[in-house]
C-alpha cells in the first residue's frame, strides 16, 4: 500500500499571503483528520509554533518542517511514535523538548541551522539513529551518552563551538572519517589527534603512511576533512 503524502510547502503562487499554518490546513481539512498521512511536508510556511493538534499525526513516518521559524516543539510530539525522519533545518530552536528523545524509531534527525545550545543525556534513547546533523548551531559539547547511539553512521557537528569530544564517542564504531564531520568545530589539535588514534587507528595509519611528509598534508586535509593545522600536526607527530 502506497503511503499518503501531504505537501503543504510554501511553493504556492500566493506564498506571501499564506505564511500561517492555519491558512493551509484547508487543503486537507483539520489536522485531526491527517492520521493516515505517512509523509507530511510543512516547509517554508513561516510557522513559529505547532498546534497541539499535531498529536493526531500518529502514523507519520517522514515529517519535513524545514525553513520555518519554530522556536520550540510541543510536548504533543510524543504521539509521533512511528516517526523515522524528522527534518527541522533552518528554524529557531534553542532547546529540544524531553519528548523528542523518546521517539525511539528515529533514524534520521536533521537539526542543521538552528540555535541549539545543548543536548540532553536522554540522547541515549536514540538507539536506532543513523543520521544526526547538528551543524550551524551553538553547541559547546556533546553529552557522553551519545556513546549509546551505536547505530550512528553520519554525524555532523560543523560550525558549532565544541572544543572537546566525549570519550564515549569511540563506541560509535560505524563512524568513519568520511561520515563524521567536525570541520570548524573548535576542538584543539591534540584532542583531535587523540580522538583519531582511538576511533580510526587502522584507516588513519594507512593515510599517514600514504601522506607521509608534511608536503603532502594538504592532501591529507582534503582526505580527512579537517583543517590544515591539525593535519600538519598529524603528519608530524602521529
DSSP state of 2: P
**Domain of residue 208, residue span:** 201-238
Task: For residue range 188-234, list pLDDT tens digits in order.
Answer: 545 555 565 555 555 555 555 554 444 455 555 555 555 454 554 45
Considering the domain architecture, whether residues 211 and 196 belong to the same structural domain is answered as no
Considering the domain architecture, whether residues 48 and 161 belong to the same structural domain is answered as yes
Least confident of 35-44, 99-108, 197-206: 197-206
Domain count, the chain: 2
C-alpha angle 27-73-63 in degrees, rounded to nearest 5: 45
Considering the domain architecture, whether residues 169 and 216 belong to the same structural domain is answered as no
Least confident of 16-20, 158-162, 175-179, 218-222: 16-20
Distance CA(36)–CA(58), nearest Å, equals 8
Distance CA(36)–CA(57), nearest Å, equals 8
Give the domain CATH number at 78.
Answer: 3.80.10.10
50 has a pLDDT exceeding 50: yes
Task: Give residue 12's pLDDT band: very low, low, confident or very high (50, 70, 90).
Answer: very low
Residue 188's Cα: distance from chain center in Å?
23
Task: Give residue 237's pLDDT band: very low, low, confident or very high (50, 70, 90).
Answer: very low
Amino acid at each position: 500500500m502506497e503511503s499518503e503524502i501531504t505537501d503543504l510547502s510554501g511553493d504556492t503562487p500566493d506564498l506571501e499571503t499564506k505564511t500561517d499554518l492555519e491558512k493551509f490546513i484547508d487543503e486537507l481539512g483539520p489536522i485531526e483528520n491527517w492520521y493516515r498521512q505517512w509523509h507530511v511536508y510543512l516547509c517554508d510556511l513561516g510557522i513559529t509554533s505547532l498546534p497541539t493538534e499535531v498529536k493526531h499525526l500518529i502514523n507519520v513516518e517522514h515529517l519535513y518542517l524545514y525553513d520555518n521559524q519554530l522556536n520550540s516543539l510541543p510536548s504533543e510530539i510524543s504521539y509521533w511514535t512511528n516517526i523515522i525522519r524528522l527534518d527541522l533545518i533552518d528554524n529557531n530552536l534553542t532547546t529540544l523538548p524531553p519528548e523528542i528523545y523518546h521517539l525511539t524509531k528515529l533514524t534520521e534527525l536533521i537539526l542543521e541551522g538552528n540555535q541549539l545550545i545543548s543536548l540532553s543525556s536522554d540522547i541515549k534513547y536514540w538507539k536506532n539513529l543513523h543520521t544526526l546533523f547538528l551543524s550551524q548551531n551553538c553547541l559547546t559539547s556533546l553529552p557522553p551518552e551519545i556513546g549509546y547511539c551505536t547505530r550512528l553512521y553520519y554525524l555532523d557537528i560543523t560550525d558549532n563551538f565544541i572544543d572537546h569530544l566525549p570519550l564515549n564517542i569511540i563506541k560509535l564504531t560505524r563512524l568513519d572519517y568520511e561520515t563524521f564531520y567536525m570541520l570548524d568545530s573548535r576542538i584543539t589539535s591534540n584532542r583531535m589527534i587523540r580522538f583519531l588514534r582511538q576511533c580510526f587507528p587502522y584507516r588513519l595509519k594507512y593515510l599517514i603512511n600514504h601522506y607521509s611528509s608534511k608536503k603532502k598534508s594538504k592532501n591529507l586535509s582534503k582526505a580527512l576533512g579537517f583543517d590544515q593545522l591539525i593535519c600538519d600536526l598529524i603528519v608530524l607527530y602521529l
